[in-house]
A and B are shown apart, each in its own frame.
Chain A
Amino acid sequence: MTFTVTAGGRVHEVRVTRVHEGLDVEVDGRRLHADLTRSGAGHALLLSAVAGESGGGVRSFRSFDVAVEHEVSPDALVVHVGSHRIPVQLSGRRRFGSLAGSHHRTADGDGAQVITAPMPGRVVKVLVRDGEVVEERQGLVVVEAMKMENELRAPRAGRVTGLRVAAGSSVDTGAVLLVVE
């Protein structure tokens, strides 16, 4: 199976093949032998060059601690390598029905900006009215969570519509607060 993987802004072609004693991984044309074992908080991933494996039965690997978490959509993953958290785009994967359609995102670019609660909390203050024209970075709503007040600002200039919350409302992560058109 071949995948196109984007990590840290670089695009990699990764081909995975199962061979008799493990996994064969080809990264951008470079062949590696991979050994994957479940361990601790995820998996131990051992990588070695395929060439030079003909020693006296001893193979040297580079070793990593890896784990995968889903985020946003089936193609956008978060991979942990050691204590590092690395967002990754994965394409070329076979889809399984249940995973598709969980896609949720707010509008981006020049269109209407849906302002959602970044975390569960309580609306302390609403700084704008429906229909009000706002500047980029102008404060819109103040949400309090964990004793900290967080001011949500307009990602771009526009007009406030669909204001759904008032001071005192409780909101969950992703709850739509208002829209900047």
Chain B
Amino acid sequence: MANRGEIAVRVLRACRDMGLASVAVYSECDRGALHVRMADEACFLGPAPAADSYLRIDRLVEAARLTGADGLHPGYGFLAEHPGLAAACRDAGITFIGPTPEAIARMGSKTAARTLARDAGVPVVPGSDDVLGPDVTDDAALEAAAQVGYPLMLKAVAGGGGKGMRVVSGPEALAGALHVARSEALAAFGDASVYLERRLLRPRHIEVQLLADHHGTVVPFVERECSIQRRHQKVVEESPSPVVSPTLRARLQAAAVAVARAGGYTNAGTIEFLVDEHAGGEAFYFLEMNTRLQVEHPITELVTGTDLVQWQIRIARGERLTIDPARVARGEGHAIECRVYAEDPDAGFVPSPGVVDPFVVPAGPGVRHDAGIEPGGEVPIFYDALIAKLAVWGASRDEAIRRTSRALEEYRVGGVRTTIPFFRWLMVQPAFREGAFDTSFLDELLQQRVGTPFSAPEASLEEVAAIAAALYGAQAMPLRTHETAGPRAPLGAAGRARWKATGRMDGLRA
């Protein structure tokens, strides 16, 4: 398992489910991480910065060789869409659990993928096929942009996950946006090249998961709605989309299969589309293909009863897909995912690294929780701040939303700030409940409420907080253990603090 965090834990669970021995990898700061202990063996990669550890192809392949691993799962992020890792595995005789390096390279270039989709008869977003490499001048970029027309999107050629992406409203903003997009693209993907795409007015982001085996079978799954985005990053996903009709679903799935076949694609992948509800006739455009497992795969698993990771491993072994295509193309019920980040929603979502304690997570009917950390675990500054994914299933969309709200109330998280209060707020927004949103919806809504805290609870809870504070002041109640005893302290220390507090209480008799 060549990754860390929640996705490493997810894949290691699939290995256990299948009775497969597994190997984790870790960097200096992940020594004590959950994923390391979920594997049968673990290999140290190097210092904490990803460039020295999780992005080292040579060390990952060496770790596989050393332990006799015959397969390597890349997870998502890091090297998952880097053809070099897939190629290095092949050269070393290790099965890469994903598509071939050729397919990754083909679909990984966003401009080449556009051409491929167009040739396969799938509509693409109007734009320029010219790549703006790092040496292209601002003047040349301005010229290319004038042909595409404003507003437009700058996107990383090697992109994915919203990184290296900027909206440009007019020519005056192009040079600045170009600089930022290139530096973000370089940092995230090691390639500063960007390209231009027309910006559609209020599109929805809808994607089709698929599995493809080595025997020519391609199975598309019921779509995921991913329009709830903050600065082009998905924050809430659901399946199915509240607006996709059976006809549109069939068309999206056929287009997804056509692109996958044209790309010679195998294993799990996702075709992303923009759907323009306002164009009439349910217009859609191919956006890009993600040649990996997606962060949001659990909601597809919930509505289709499929274990996508197990299928990735089985396909990589050469097995045939035996899933009933009709069942997974439709799914059952409704699922919603919230990506819980260690970020402070009341301070513009700045990262909030630190030791997470306590960390009590929701459970119960319809709730699936995928976390990469545990109580007392640390969110390091070196990587993505995603700490958990809450995925909830309900028989209807309404039930799924109510269950998500219920589950969010069950969290008890301290030590770091999280996006949980933001999700609690989002779940009761009328437009969200009605399913009336597009990719600009969340950014616009957030803009309107800048400065208003998400965590504002009702007055009765504030009174309870005042009582709790007074009880604390009267030393009837100690601080949370991680404040008094420090993280990972033996239980005895907290116990002693409690005894001391009880002792002091004796002086309080009226």
Contacts and interface: CB of A to CB of B under 8 A. Distances in A.
Interface of A: 1, 3, 5-8, 10, 12, 14-19, 23-25, 27, 32, 34, 36, 38, 40-43, 45, 47, 64-70, 77, 79-86, 88, 90, 92-93, 118-121, 124, 144-150
Given A7-B469, A27-B463, A83-B420, A16 B474 contact: yes
Contact of B468 (A8, A10, A81): A81
A3 B473 contact: yes
B409 A83 contact: yes
B508 A17 contact: yes
Nearest to B494: A38
A15 B183 CA distance: 57
| Among all A-B residue pairs, the 10 with the closest Cβ atoms | A41-B358, A14-B470, A8-B462, A41-B412, A86-B465, A5-B466, A16-B474, A79-B465, A66-B468, A18-B508
Contacts of B410: 83
Contact of A25 (B420, B421, B470): B470
16 contacts: A8-B459, A12-B463, A14-B466, A19-B510, A45-B464, A45-B467, A65-B412, A79-B472, A83-B412, A85-B455, A88-B465, A93-B473, A119-B350, A119-B352, A147-B187, A150-B351
B385 A84 contact: no
B263 interface: no
Nearest to B409: A83
B381 A69 contact: no
Contact of A7 (B414, B462, B498): B462
Given A17-B510, A84-B461, A150 B350 contact: yes
Contacts of B493: none
Nearest to A79: B465
Contacts of B385: 146, 148
Given A7-B463, A81-B465, A1 B479 contact: no
A80 B359 CA distance: 13
Contacts of B180: 149
Contacts of B478: 68
Given A36-B471, A68-B468, A121-B351, 7 more contacts: A1-B470, A1-B474, A66-B464, A66-B465, A144-B187, A146-B384, A149-B184
A25 B457 contact: no
A34 B472 CA distance: 13
Contacts of A147: 163, 187-188, 383-384
Contact of B360 (A8, A41, A43, A86): A41
A47 B461 CA distance: 12
Contact of B461 (A5, A36, A42, A86): A86
B477 interface: yes
Nearest to B509: A18
Interface string B342-354: 0000011011110
Interface in B473-510: 473-474, 476-480, 483, 498, 505-506, 508-510
Contacts of B187: 144, 147
B456 interface: yes
